[in-house]
Structure 1
Amino acid sequence: MCVCVYSRFMNNRVPSHRRYQPTEYEHAANCATHALWIIPSILGSSILHLLSDDQWETISAWIYGFGLCGLFIVSTIFHTISWKKRHHRTMEHCLHMFDRMVIYFFIAASYAPWLNLRELGPWASHMRWVIWIMASVGTIYVFFFHERYKLVELACYVVMGFFPALVILSMTNRDGLIELLIGGVFYCLGMVFFKSDGRIPFAHAIWHLFVAIGAGVHYYAIWRYLYRPNEHMLEVKISK
């Protein structure tokens, strides 16, 4: 009985060199779990832009906003095409590659406000451009080795996700560190489901939810500690 229920919602696992094919239910869940966050991500990015007080805050808000919105938009488009246009294999393959590439730039964009707006030590300031080199290398890797070495790809995401966090050791102001850690924990827990297609029903959709929660926690930290005007600034603006 349990096997029959599982087979309705989940297909069997595939070899490491092939991509898992979701069931109809999983396709729908994959689309919905990221489509729901497109409008909130656009609104959230707009709020940061409105709160920006100088050029660097504006630039950082744009970079972060494009990365955040791009992640959910590209993921939704890919999963929709994969579901409804399965006979367009070339288009589906290209969008799948693009979906994986966007993750690297999302990670870089998520770090951008912290690296651009916080005071960093001399050695850590190089991370402002190193993070984008890492994203570019990850993109090139996907272009040439997409779906060939899945564990290597996963390791690349983990390294890029945690290596730039080392710069917090040079920050004089460490407000937001707890939120950054909590968001990172959600991403890590989600990776368990990211690699569980064919073992756990709706595994990829669950991974999407962990990504959304992690992104939400990180957005809150950016808004609260980097963009939210403090009481003194509010009093100055009101007095004017």
Structure 2
Amino acid sequence: VKKVNLRGSVCYRFMNNRVPPHKRYQPTEYEHAANCATHALWIIPSLLGSSVLHFHSEDQWERLSAWVYGAGLSSLFIISTLFHTVAWKKSHLRSVEHCFHMCDRMVIYFFIAASYAPWLNLRELGPWACHMRWLVWVMASFGTTYVFFFHERYKIMELICYTVMGVFPALVILSMPEQSGLCELLVGGACYCLGIVFFKSDGIVPFAHAIWHLFVAVGAAVHYYAIWRYLYTQTVVLL
């Protein structure tokens, strides 16, 4: 959908023109609003969901895993909402926007590592699990360091890092003797992978980034359900 301004140039209401790889796409006002809303709506549910896991925790490992996972889940939506709000309303503050954009990218690594924490800590996964418990955080640390030094410089490399970070620990998870929750893990992972298509479609598909946010929210919701259902309340359900 487009309109023509008084000087005859074409401007888009719901989508701006695609930009070269070395530049950042500038969302329209509608896209800015959608980017904020699609993650802001999940802040309260993520905080409440984290509290539910704490309530169901029965030992130290369960409490620790609930805290780490809840922090990663809530931080993802909070930081994303703050960044998109700043980018929308305070874009003239370049240094502030840049800082929030870096934090938005860094928190993704923390979120991925935190999402694996309950499975690596609470499930019997074999000899590699104990190594993956700390290796996943080493990968997250490398990722955040990469963002700090090379933010937005090599966008394809960033995407590869996120993908490797998301897939590599899953090789250990998929080997778990107890298969309950595996279907949900695969469905959630598929949501993230499908969302990547829209993550790179700014200027091609209207509201592409907001659609990406929705895929992330659905994937996170499916994974949360699996953690709640199979790691924290399985005994109650079986009864």
Structure 1 residues 169 and 11 mapped into 2: Cα distance closer, same or farther (>3 Å)? closer
Stretches of structure 1 lacking an aligned partner (at least 5 in a row): 235-240
**What's 1:151 paired with?**
156
Relative to the length of structure 1, the TM-score reads 0.94
For residue 168 of structure 1, report the CA deviation from its aligned partner. Answer: 2.5
Give me the whole-angstrom Cα distance separating, in 1, the residues matched to 2:120 and 2:56. 18
**2:82 pairs with 1:77:** yes
Aligned to 2:7: none
Whole-angstrom CA distance in 1 between matches of 2:179 and 2:192: 21
CA spacing shift, 1:50–1:21, aligned 2, 3 Å: same
Write the letter of the residue equivalent to 1:79. H
Amino acid at match of 1:17: H
Please state if 1:52 is matched with 2:57: yes
Answer yes or no: is 1:8 the counterpart of 2:20: no
| Deviation of 1:149 (Å) | 0.8
Q: Name 2:190's counterpart in structure 1.
A: 185
1:18 matched to 2:5: no
Aligned counterparts of 1:200 and 1:78: Cα–Cα separation in 2:
21
Distance 1:80 1:52 in 2: 35
Given that residues 51 and 229 in structure 1 are in contact (C-alpha distance below 8 angstroms), is that contact kept between their aligned partners in structure 2? Answer: no
Instruction: Give the distance between the partners of 2:174 and 2:166, measured in 1 at CA.
Output: 16
Q: How big is the shift at 1:127?
A: 0.3
Query: Where does residue 28 of structure 1 map in the other structure?
Result: 33
User: Are the equivalent residues in 1 in contact too, given 2:106–2:143 (CA < 8 A)?
Assistant: yes
Distance 1:233 1:193 in 2: 39
| Kept after mapping to 2: 8 A contact 1:51/1:227 | yes
Q: 2:92 aligns with which of 87, 91, 102?
A: 87
* Partner Cα separation in structure 2 for residue 231 and residue 140 of structure 1: 42
Percent identity of the aligned residues? 75
Contact 2:119 2:173 in 1 (8 A): no
Q: Which amino acid aligns with 1:61?
A: A
State the shift of 1:11 in Å.
Answer: 0.8
Q: CA deviation at 1:172?
A: 1.6
Residue of structure 2 equivalent to 1:207: 212
- Could you say which structure has the higher helix fraction? 1
Residue 223, structure 1, aligned to residue 228, structure 2: yes
Q: Distance between the aligned counterparts of 2:164 and 2:236, measured in 1?
A: 38
Unmatched 5+ stretches in structure 2: 5-10
2-structure distance, mates of 1:220, 1:20: 34
Q: Is the 8 A contact 1:104 1:135 kept in 2?
A: yes
C-alpha deviations, 1:118-161, integer Å up to 9, x for none?
A: 01211232000000000000001101111111111001111110
Supply the distance in 2 between the matched residues of 1:114 and 1:132 (Cα, whole angstroms): 14
Aligned mates of 2:79, 2:236 — CA distance in 1:
38
Aligned length in residues: 233
